[in-house]
Amino acid sequence: MKTNQPVLHGLHHVTAITADAQANLDFYTSTLGMRLVKKTVNQDDVSAYHLFYADAIGSAGSDFTFFDWAKIRPARNGAGTVSETGLRVLGGEASLEHWVKWFDQQIVRHGAIETLSDRPTLAFQDGERQHLRLIADSESATEVHPWHGSPVPLCAAIIGLGSVDLTVTDSDATADFLTNVLGFRSSATEHNLFETGAGGSGAQLRLHGSTERGQEGAGGVHHVAWRVADPQELLAWQRHLENHGYGTSGQVDRHYFKSLYFRIPGGILFEIATDGPGFAADGEDPAHLGEKLALPPFLEPRRAQIEAGIKPLHYQPSKGPKYEE
């Protein structure tokens, strides 16, 4: 790595698209047991919810978020898409056995437990066929914040994002960009595995080639965001990308974090986002995150109009293990 190469510390969030916000909320909170840490609107389209699911405290690296666009067509995996999102769960293979039983009870489409990069994993899909995978992450013993709403025992709860899979037409060009510009390292043992920061679960991506173009839509990913510590690191990234001839959005204040957006060769939208200030930035009570519509200060004056333009969602925070052995 070059000495002036800034560093991405791992996954920050993945933002996907749903055409059914209520079913999406039910699935990610009641079936997966993630915590709704923020119910807000898309800052660029306030007629759409932006729902954030995360661990118990909304740690950076644990957010899986959704824009709700009811009229959007279904997504199709293929070149130019994030074709799978991995979610870390506590424990080893036994944790995934809990999830298999729970998914069978809930009629969730899933595959068999299989080993990927030396970890037991379980592929599954949400109701809109979003491609997802649980990754058993027995290394993460400390600094994890599982949400007590997990329907499976807490020792098997989802604790954050694990990895993303990208599908592109020219995987060599994307690999060059990942390593030479973004500072990813290619794995010595798996030709299509890349790591950033400290590496390991939470800081990995897999690259796939396909000649067939995918399509953005419901049940697909909109963009993937990577972590930096603070606005100084974000500025270093903006300069670094622009010095390499890549256009960026410039810095955008998302209130909960600051962001920079750019498209990688292959067309996928990447974001770099700061760890802070986090979801407490709007003063929401940490004990009641996500229960009311949260708005950043610049949208607060338009609250009445915004609330009138979105459908109410029914949310009952879940109360803990409910699957039967």
Which residues of the chain form contacts with Zn ion (CB under 5 A)?
A: 15, 225, 271
Least distance between Zn ion and beta carbon 113 (Å): 31
CB 163 within 8 A of CB 201: yes
- Kindly tell me which of 209 and 267 has the beta carbon lying closer to Zn ion: 267
- Residue number with CB closer to Zn ion (79 or 272): 272
- Cα gap 199→162, rounded to integer Å: 11
**DSSP β-bridge partners for residue 167:** 81, 208
* CA dist 220 → 67, 129, 228, 261, 288 (Å): 11, 8, 25, 18, 29
Residue (259 or 318) nearer to Zn ion, CB: 259
Rounded CA separation 210/168 (Å): 6
Nearer to Zn ion, 79 or 225 (CB): 225
Contacts of 232 (CB under 8 A, 6+ apart): none
Q: Is 298 exposed, middle or buried (0-12, 13-18, 19+ CB in 10 A)?
A: exposed
Going by their DSSP bridges, the two strands 158-168 and 110-116 should be labelled as: unpaired
**Where is 88: in which H helix or E strand?**
strand 81-89
CA distance to 61, 181, 206, 253, 275, per residue, from 238 (Å): 21, 12, 24, 14, 16
CB of 218 to Zn ion, least distance (A): 17
DSSP-assigned beta bridge partners for residue 18 = 68
Least gap, CB of 254 to Zn ion (angstroms): 7
| Cβ nearer to Zn ion, comparing 243 with 298 | 298
Q: Of 252 and 293, which CB lies nearer to Zn ion in the complex structure? A: 252
CB of 14 to Zn ion, least distance (A): 8
Least Å from the CB of residue 63 to Zn ion = 9
User: CB 271 → Zn ion: shortest distance, Å?
Assistant: 5
